[in-house]
Structure 1
């Protein structure tokens, strides 16, 4: 009897089967179509209440995503946190991606921002439909520091067990045209891609060990993209819009368009009407774009606000305005 082959066979049969690859519970987010609106109020010093039934108003119209601007210094009582919880719970129950946006325009390297997201991470851990927009249109620091600071923040959150989808904005108002300016080696950085690359960040994995971070460009279509005036200036896909896509492709990342606007409930300027079909088609057909949120919705905006999306009086008429129809055209399957 040959003992060695028998022992070998027994040892092989006794080996445990290889564990099946762990399924990524967040992978469905990459399928995209997370289009919706910004619902402003919680970021104001004197907010008007946003209620769970308000979330239903947007969900019933077809929105798949809500971006909730907040300021960390104002989420300072158990009652305010409970109100945020109620909105998050209603939205996720409706299958919506709920984006908590830290809207303080701060320096992403600020320790207070890290502490805030560690608290939010403990509060909403294990909820794939709750995403964190780490810092709205960050200021402070420099282009040189922004990329490494963003990486350090993300790594700190992951080390602490925060598993939520993260959304990253950059200096220069997070403008589409500031995603990649193709700076040569001897020129100072003026774009997100340059800052990341010079910080040794060349792929999504370099930035986020869990590979759950999206880039978030903002785009208002007036000259310069400030959103300070209502007219639209055409932006072909080869211009600033395309720059963000090219940057995302180089990094292996996706884009969530955190802010954009075509007009308001009362009117859409003719210059915007002339280009909006091309912009909607670009957003809908570009694989890197997973969704976004139109700016100017929520109860807090005045009657005269430039991008107020909701109709005065009967808000259900908001979806019948030209602006409402344009926004909803992004939500179509």
Structure 2
């Protein structure tokens, strides 16, 4: 007897094997090993240093899932979807999915979602022995991978931000928690006469300095090592917060906003770039990830307005920048 349609749909939505199998393929670099052409199980097992029989079983499932295809001579090659697991393609998903990267490690904590729902707090440290940011900062490779992932995610937002941000009169941009500096570099490069200051922890700040030099912007952009919970560089025209507030619960997010309110010059703006649950309505999965990883949360426009008001800031406007992020502009109240 076959399962009724509703039962099959529920099973498909709750499947764990396929998502994990794809992540294992990303971690092992299977699609990279196939970059030069189709590869046999035996050769692929040697390249990836795994058991050939188990690898064959993994690939068998990933063929059914549409990630790879088996050609008549028994070798395997990626489909168009599987090719997105290669490192060298423009829209690669490998950094996001690999289990030994920062996001992949966070995804493993999803299995403790029940604990997060019961406690209302993050569960990452229960799995790894330390909080997410401490874990990432303790490993240079993890920190670099995370910064690279965040930079890649911002490339699609930069043109819209430049079009919507009203940059003509801006002379000093402060990127708060700016990671490797790609966003700040793009804004400063597109804004004649503007200077940029990035503030972040040691590893991303060092990466940002290198990137500024590579972009020929070392005379216009600088990176400062510090915490956004401490006083910020003062008198900026714009303070950028890209995917910062959602990492923190309300009390800590309010502290960041207060630091921006203290530092921004009169007439200046605080620009928040992150998803809003009432604008990017399909981002509920990210909201749960923020709970699991960090104890943070996504917010609605009204929740962000209230948070800003408590920090002495007033909401000026909200502009949707696509399916993932909105631009929220704040000014001193």
| TM-score, normalising length: structure 1 | 0.28
Q: Larger relative CO (CA 8 A, sep 6+): 1 or 2?
A: 1
Greater fraction helix: 2
| TM-score, normalising length: structure 2 | 0.28
